[in-house]
């Protein structure tokens, strides 16, 4: 059983267990996974995440994650985990990860549509996160 699962509670959206060390994050979306890429924190790690779509799965593959538990996993995310040989479990399997407004597909999923390379996905997701942050600042 994935040891990170027990840490996915009380507002935690992502838990990473590597070499006995536990890191937890409360940020929604893929920001924490993007942040962890430069730190080699995911290599060989067990991860538990509230929502795993293609975007998150590609970042996990890039980081070298060993196993994943997803409370909600999209079929696209499942395809990526299978392709990269990452062991996984999930609570709910869904066709699509929807946006926070519930009006369509998640923008992170849209950003990686047609991208199969974890490296390319990383670049596209960093760009999309920066774009969304700029839009939020312009609204304020």
Average pLDDT over residues 52-66: 97
* Residue 24: predicted pLDDT: 96
* Residue 137: predicted pLDDT: 72
pTM for the whole thing? 0.94
* Residue 44: predicted pLDDT: 96
Q: Output the average pLDDT for the chain.
A: 94
| CA pair distance 140, 130, nearest whole angstrom | 16
Domains of the chain listed by start with CATH number: 5-139 (3.40.140.30)
For 80-131, how does the pLDDT look when each residue is reduced to its tens digit (9 = 90+)?
999 999 999 999 999 999 998 999 999 999 999 999 999 999 999 999 999 9
Which residues, at least 6 apart from 46, have a Cβ–Cβ distance to it below 8 Å?
Answer: 2, 3, 4, 16, 17, 18, 65, 66, 67, 68, 69
């Amino acid at each position: 059983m994935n040891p990170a699962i027990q840490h996915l509670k009380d507002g935690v959206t992502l838990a990473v267990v590597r070499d006995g060390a536990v890191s937890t994050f409360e940020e929604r979306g893929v920001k924490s996974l993007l942040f962890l890429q430069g730190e080699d924190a995911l290599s060989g790690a067990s991860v538990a995440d509230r929502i795993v779509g293609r975007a998150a799965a590609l970042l996990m593959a890039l980081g070298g994650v060993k196993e994943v538990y997803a409370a909600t996993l999209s079929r696209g995310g499942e395809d990526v985990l299978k392709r990269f040989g990452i062991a996984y479990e999930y609570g709910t399997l869904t066709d699509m990860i929807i946006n926070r407004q519930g009006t369509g597909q998640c923008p992170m999923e849209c950003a990686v549509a047609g991208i199969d390379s974890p490296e390319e996905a990383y670049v596209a997701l960093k760009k999309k996160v920066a774009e969304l942050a700029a839009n939020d600042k312009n609204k304020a």
